[in-house]
Amino acid sequence: MYKKSPPLVFLLLIFGFITACSMEVSKLDEADSAPSTNGIITATLPVTFTPRASATPLPATAQPTVEPVSGKVTAQINVRENPSTSSESIGMLGINSEAEIIGKSANEDWYKIRFVSATGESREGWGAAEYILTESKPDVPVISGSSPSTGDENTNGQTTQQINVRIGPGTDFAVLGLLNNEEEIVLTGKNLDGNWLQIEFVSGNDNKGWVFASYVESNIIDDLPIMSESGEEIAASTQTVMAATAAPTYFPAPDDGDSAEEPSISVEFSATNSRAFDYSSDLSSPEGDTEDWIAFHPNSPEDRVNLLIDLSCEGNGNLYAELWQGGIKLDKWGELNCGDSDYALSMFRDETYQFRLYSKYSRELTYISYNLQVRAAP
């Protein structure tokens, strides 16, 4: 009995199967090294958008910080809302007051200042540059865009020195503010005697105030209407009757408690910069404040300092002046009287001097309101 050989067809099938496996492995090896997409259908991927890089905004350029410049006030001044004498007064600074300068007007006639008000709060306003003393020219930015207006276009008068503006026509009325020398004003009336003038003044009742006529220049004073203390025009028929009885009323000056050791003011100013100071006050006798002490210390590179002094007064009494140096009264310096203008004095540099202004004793009440200006000779 013999074994049958496997059929030939069966052998051929086995051989074909083995060969096919070898070819598939080879194709897989080739796919690993170099993939081909021939004959392969792939899914289409959705289109994606890469966002375009946007420019990162640069930070804003830092503004330079303005360093305030310290200044000292050399006269009683108004602090105004804007750099103009016609602008509303928002406060007052006395002589020797401190202020921080943070800006200036385009023509440099005004400084933007930071100051402490009478109520103790910090405020900002504008002060006249000529009355604010600094060690050097302030390096501050121009804040106002243009030169300030010099005042109302209807101005018809001008002050001849620094003067008080009062609520009514007399020294017994409260002070509303100050006007500087050569300030343009609008005159609206006068009192019956003609020694007080009514002006437009934004801080006053009905925007009106009163100034002493002797310190105002105008060619229309004679034509101004007669006004009462309440601001009403007086009819012509009653003016003659009132003229016979009208008389100024004076009151004792308030005592400010100053002395040679503690003067009313003490000013240090530079003659080289033609600086000056103004001081206004009042005296009376036998009641009230009878004397004022005013100290000043001129600086100069020269051995002597030449000064010019103005003294103006109003009232029904006389004012007398003494000059002191180092606690000693000087006897041969001259004589300063009310009404003197450009009175010349030659002083030693870096010395402290004092004026003693006083009212002599009298039986009847006498009252004197005065303004003293001391400035370096040109």
Please check the confidence at residue 168 and state whether its pLDDT lies above 50: yes
Please check the confidence at residue 6 and state whether its pLDDT lies above 60: no
CA 295, chain centre distance (Å): 25
Please check the confidence at residue 353 and state whether its pLDDT lies above 80: yes
Is this prediction's pTM over 0.75?
A: no
- The stretch 135-153 carries a mean pLDDT of 65
pLDDT for the residue 114: 93
Structure tokens at 51: 């966002």
Average pLDDT, the chain: 77
- The stretch 88-95 carries a mean pLDDT of 83
Please check the confidence at residue 8 and state whether its pLDDT lies above 80: no
What are φ and ψ of residue 110, in 5° steps? -130, 145
**At a CB cut-off of 8 Å and minimum separation 6, what does 100 contact?**
68, 69, 70, 71, 113, 114, 115
pLDDT tens profile 24-68:
444 434 444 444 444 444 444 454 545 554 545 545 444 456 689
Please check the confidence at residue 142 and state whether its pLDDT lies above 90: no
pLDDT for the residue 117: 84
- In percent, the amount of the chain with pLDDT more than 70 equals 74
Distances from the Cα of 77 to the Cα of 8, 68, 162, 278, angstroms: 132, 20, 9, 10
- The stretch 100-108 carries a mean pLDDT of 88
pLDDT for the residue 36: 45
Query: Rounded distance, CA 232 to CA 204, Å?
Result: 15
pLDDT for the residue 189: 93
Structural domains in the chain, CATH included, are: 69-133 (2.30.30.40), 157-245 (2.30.30.40), 265-376 (2.60.120)
Pick 269 or 373 by higher pLDDT: 373
pLDDT for the residue 7: 57
Query: Rounded distance, CA 201 to CA 205, Å?
Result: 9
Q: Is 218 helix (H, G, I), strand (E, B) or coil?
A: coil
